[in-house]
Amino acid sequence: MALTDTFIRQVKHTGSPAGDKYTDGQGLLLLVKAAGKYWRFNYRYADKQKTLALGVYPEVSLAKARKRREEARELLADGKDPGQAKREDKIAKIAAANHTFEKVARSWLEKTAASRAESTQEKITTWLENHVFTQIGKMAISEITPRDVLAAIQKIENRGAIESAHRVKQVCGQVFRYAVATGAAERDVTADLKGAISVAVKVHYAAITEPKQAGELMRSIHAYTGHAYAMAALKLAPLVFVRPGELRAAEWQEIDLDNAEWRIPGSKMKMGVDHLVPLSTQAVEILRSVHKLTGTRKFVFPSIRTEERPMSENTINAALRSMGYSKDVMTGHGFRAMARTIMDEVLGERVDLIEHQLAHAVKDPNGRAYNRTAHLPARREMMQRWADYLDGLCAGATVIPFLAKA
């Protein structure tokens, strides 16, 4: 006789140690014990009598228990053991819980940390924590769909940060490919997002490239009063014209003050190649003054909050803003364009030397890339002439007119 909701709700345990069993038909039964009421499904598989637990009443109602019985019977009809299928499903769920997007991403960050600069590692981690983990971090990476990733990225896109949206998408793709390699996911779902994000417009960093304005800028820099680290970094920036991320992540172990050289490892460079920066006497003087403050620490320009990290990526730009230079006039990255333009068009320096010092790809006549020490004596002289020229601009010396182009 089939069970009813009323009977199940009212039936009591009779005291039998083994419990009381009430059948519903086709293998489904209700086991009533002092501790509660349990659904069971009896079946035969491979000539063996087996029992499958289907849940506890009232969390699992009669209707739900019957549905689970039918699902088990369908597995039997397909030649599968319902008990084994349940165990495999449990294992899969545990695996999914241990392979959330956040856990996989953090594992990827740790495994690949040595391949990128510390500043880049910090930036990628921040992107993931602020924009991705809050959206899909707790989801099993194997169950995440392209729409899930797109929803997270579109929140960045909707703020107008198109370039950041594309970069975050690329990072998510790297996490998914790592998940595929480790067996946590079947494929990289970000491949389906091609064309789903707005095209980023190429942005040129604002820069001062006219000598007279450059002189005014240098005077403002030397008159700037702020934190000692920021003041030193700001004075050094135009002399070395490296990328802002490379400047703020400078470490004392990379700098040889006696030989006036700064050797930046490839792991910190955009092109992944070691870079050598000859230091002018002015640059060495600035660094020696900073060494008195931070020489016993890792970073030349440490964060004011913790010695474990370099100064903020916004430090130089914030200093420029406080000096009255808006982001449309001058940026920390703009010191590179300032050097590139004036050294070429005003000082007449060799373009290949300038490009090499900017860490751009420069090849010899045979098409081979120069190594980091190529033309070092000539570059050292060029860097000293540049520093002397900036001193002259700062002092208000006569400005050399732009050279006429042939």
In the chain, where the domains are located: 5-90, 101-193, 211-395
Q: Please give the pLDDT value at position 94.
A: 67
Q: What's the mean pLDDT in 299-323? A: 89
Whether residue 222 has pLDDT greater than 90: yes
3-class SS string, the chain: CCCCHHHHHHCCCCCCCCCEEEEEECCEEEEEECCEEEEEEEEEECCEEEEEEEEEECCCCHHHHHHHHHHHHHHHHCCCCHHHHHHHHHHHHHHHHHCEHHHHHHHHHHHHHHHCCHHHHHHHHHHHHHHHHHHHCCCEHHHCCHHHHHHHHHHHHCCCCHHHHHHHHHHHHHHHHHHHHHCCCCCCHHHHHCCCCCCCCCCCCCCCCCHHHHHHHHHHHHHCCCCHHHHHHHHHHHHHCCCHHHHHCCEHHHEECCCCEEEECHHHCCCCCCEEEECCHHHHHHHHHHHHHHCCCCECCECCCCCCCECCCCHHHHHHHHCCCCCCCCCCCHHHHHHHHHHHHCCCCCHHHHHHHCCCCCECCCCCECCCCCCHHHHHHHHHHHHHHHHHHHHCCCCCCCCCCC
What's the mean pLDDT when you consider all of the chain?
A: 88
Q: What's the mean pLDDT in 340-346? A: 92
Q: What is the CATH number of domain 5-90?
A: 3.30.160.390
Q: What's the mean pLDDT in 67-76? A: 95
Count other C-beta atoms under 10 Å from residue 327's C-beta: 12
Q: Please give the pLDDT value at position 401.
A: 47
Q: Would you place residue 160 in the very low, low, confident or very high pLDDT band (cuts 50, 70, 90)?
A: confident
CA distances in angstroms from 25 to 2, 4, 22, 40, 246, listed in the order given: 6, 12, 9, 11, 74
Confirm or reject CATH 1.10.150.130 for domain 101-193, answering yes or no.
yes
> Which residues are part of the catalytic machinery?
243, 268, 333, 336, 360, 370
Q: Please give the pLDDT value at position 161.
A: 77
Q: Please give the pLDDT value at position 200.
A: 62
Q: What's the mean pLDDT in 17-34? A: 94
Task: Look at 98 and 176; give whichever has higher pLDDT.
Answer: 176
Q: Would you place residue 365 in the very low, low, confident or very high pLDDT band (cuts 50, 70, 90)?
A: low
The span from the CA of 181 to the CA of 195, in Å, is 25
Q: What's the mean pLDDT in 165-174? A: 93
3-class SS string, 321-338: HHCCCCCCCCCCCHHHHH
Asked, as a colleague might, if the bond just before 58 is cis with ω within 30 of 0, I would say yes
Q: What's the mean pLDDT in 279-284? A: 97
Q: What's the mean pLDDT in 186-195? A: 93
Q: Tell me the pTM.
A: 0.54
The span from the CA of 172 to the CA of 85, in Å, is 32
Q: Would you place residue 304 in the very low, low, confident or very high pLDDT band (cuts 50, 70, 90)?
A: confident
* pLDDT tens column, 91-148: 666 666 678 999 999 999 999 998 887 778 888 998 899 899 999 999 999 889 999 9
Residue 345 C-alpha from the chain's centroid: 38
Q: What's the mean pLDDT in 52-68? A: 95
Q: Please give the pLDDT value at position 50.
A: 94
Correct CATH for 211-395 of 3.90.1150.10, 1.20.200.10, 3.10.20.70, 1.10.443.10? 1.10.443.10
Q: Please give the pLDDT value at position 371.
A: 59
Task: Look at 48 and 404; give whichever has higher pLDDT.
Answer: 48
Q: Would you place residue 362 in the very low, low, confident or very high pLDDT band (cuts 50, 70, 90)?
A: low
Whether residue 404 has pLDDT greater than 50: no
Q: What's the mean pLDDT in 47-75? A: 95
Paired sense of beta strands 261-264 and 275-278, if any = antiparallel
